[in-house]
């Protein structure tokens, strides 16, 4: 018996990296999983390897969210877990942050999470089965960072939205929590940290960089009944950097 037997999960940004790792663990534990992304070729490939469904989703689009959640329910009959993983990272200090970069980062990292929670909440409330929403923030959403003004702003927003929505949806049996990764080696940041891995790891209490599976294991905990009394919380997975 898996921890998620009979449940249906939607993982955004599921084509690769943390999202793919989360989807893999959810499938392993018995969930019916739909991964969604804008990287259609990679998403179809990942879904085929994992034995789950793939749907195209631009998380900044309200109409696409409506379509994907409706399609998920039509395919699987219910909706239990939302893994809001999709996001982008474009480093730039304040004076180098263009309005275009700001708006794109907010649209994906912040508005995308808002739309996902709102659309999923409506579906979960209608089904009256409760549910779990898990939002990917960052340690940049818990402390001031350097050199990524737009990214940090959106990740603080995710932290705040998580705590607020958890209070609103608790009466419906819906739990809402956030995960705050530290330095996780994914395609999104691999080029930026190339050649710096050893130096970065040496500065951490746990002297290695994180993997997508490290985040996936936390997501699995929050999706499962093991975290049934946890909501509105920020779970840090960063090797001890934020403490």
> What positions carry a catalytic annotation?
151
Q: Work out whether strand 81-84 and strand 131-136 pair parallel, antiparallel, or are unpaired.
A: parallel
Q: Work out whether strand 131-136 and strand 32-37 pair parallel, antiparallel, or are unpaired.
A: unpaired
- Alpha carbon 49 to chain centroid distance? 20
173 to each of 26, 51, 80, 126, 133, how far by Cα in Å? 20, 29, 11, 12, 11
Contacts of 59 (CB under 8 A, 6+ apart): 12, 13, 36, 65, 84, 86, 108, 111, 112, 113, 115, 116
DSSP 109: I
Are 230 and 177 contacting, i.e. CB atoms less than 8 angstroms apart? yes
DSSP 97: -
Tokens standing for residue 183:
């330095």
For residues 54 and 178, what is the distance between their CA atoms, to the nearest angstrom? 24
Compute the half-sphere exposure of residue 83: CA atoms within 13 Å on the CB side of its CA.
Answer: 35
Tokens standing for residue 114:
């808002």
């Amino acid at each position: 018996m898996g921890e998620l037997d009979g449940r249906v999960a939607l993982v955004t940004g599921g084509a690769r990296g943390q999202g793919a790792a989360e989807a893999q663990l959810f499938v392993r534990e018995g969930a019916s999983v739909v991964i969604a992304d804008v990287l259609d070729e990679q998403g179809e490939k990942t879904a085929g390897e994992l034995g789950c469904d793939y749907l195209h989703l631009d998380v900044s689009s309200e109409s696409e969210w409506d379509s994907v959640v409706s399609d998920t329910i039509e395919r699987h009959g219910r909706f239990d877990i939302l893994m809001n993983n999709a996001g982008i990272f474009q480093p730039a200090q304040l004076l180098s942050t263009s309005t275009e970069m700001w708006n794109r980062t907010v649209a994906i990292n912040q508005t995308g999470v808002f739309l996902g929670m709102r659309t999923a909440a409506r579906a979960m409330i209608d089904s009256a089965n409760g549910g779990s929403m898990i939002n990917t923030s960052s340690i940049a959403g818990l402390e001031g960072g350097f050199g990524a003004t737009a990214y940090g702003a959106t990740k603080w927003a995710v932290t705040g939205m998580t705590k607020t929505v958890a209070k609103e949806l608790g009466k419906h049996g819906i739990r809402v929590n956030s995960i705050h990764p530290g330095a996780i080696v994914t395609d999104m940041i691999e080029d930026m940290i190339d050649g710096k891995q050893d130096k970065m790891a040496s500065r951490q209490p746990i002297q290695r960089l994180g993997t997508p599976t490290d985040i996936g294991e936390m997501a699995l905990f929050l999706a499962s009944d093991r975290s049934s009394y946890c909501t509105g919380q920020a779970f840090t997975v960063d090797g001890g950097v934020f403490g």
